[in-house]
Amino acid sequence: MPAPRTRPAVLVASGLAALGACLASLAVHLLTLANVAHASRAVFLQAPVVFPYLRARGAVSVLTFLLGLLLVAAVVALVTWLGARSASRERGAAAVALSAWLGTVLGGCLSGAVSGLAFLLQLNRSVPPELVVQQLTGSFSSGAHWGVTEGWLVAVVAAVVFALTNRTRPGVGAAGRVPGSPAPGRGTAAEQPPAPPR
């Protein structure tokens, strides 16, 4: 049985996860500018990366934002690829969906931790250790929350792409032959040489 085609599902999952992280970050930024309290939006919207165009932030925030998006895309691509390459061609869409969702959660966690660490490094004063732990834990859990709540969309799209790119034509087996036809390179019965006499 040939290996499943994994590249389309992996590329779509990683691109969609990075786009989703960017859009979630923009939405959080716009809600912050509109003075919507964190507690009222935290239930339905979190972001693994911090949108870079906040006032009083420089090139470090842009680099952190891009690094976070790249990290989300890379982790989603890796975990989705690992799940897709071991999945069945015909029935592997569920495995791809679960691996894409897990990749989104893990990518959100790591990206959130990087964003929290970059925020702490931008502070010019000494920070108490309990604030460091609180900031890193909050950023990590914010990324995990984003991955759990928005990762299902990445999972569904990756599963659909995997199913569409790995389906077989009706009446054609997994090897690409119509059942009952001769093996490749053997030709039809009329084309084969006669059997040697005994």
Q: Please name which of 68, 67, 70 lies closest in space to residue 140, comparing C-alpha atoms.
A: 68
Q: Whats the size of the chain, residue-wise?
A: 198
Confidence band for 188, pLDDT divided at 50, 70 and 90: low
* DSSP type of residue 91: T
Provide the pLDDT for residue 135.
84
**How far is Cα 143 from Cα 12, in angstroms, rounded to an integer?**
20
Please, are residues 75 and 107 in contact by the beta-carbon 8 Å criterion?
Answer: yes
pLDDT at 181 over 70: no
Q: Report CA-CA distances (Å) from 125 to 121, 128, 186.
A: 9, 10, 78
Q: Which residues contact 71 (CB under 8 A, 6 or more apart)?
A: 107, 110, 111, 114
Average of pLDDT values for 59-76? Answer: 90
Please write the tens of the pLDDT for every residue from 141-172.
888 999 999 899 999 999 999 999 987 665 55
Q: In degrees, to the nearest 5, what angle opens at C-alpha 130 toward C-alphas 126 and 132?
A: 60
Please write the tens of the pLDDT for every residue from 74-103.
999 999 999 999 888 888 899 999 999 999
Please write the tens of the pLDDT for every residue from 92-137.
899 999 999 999 999 999 999 888 888 887 776 777 878 888 888 8
DSSP, residue by residue, 163-185? HHHT---TT--TTSS-TTSPPTT
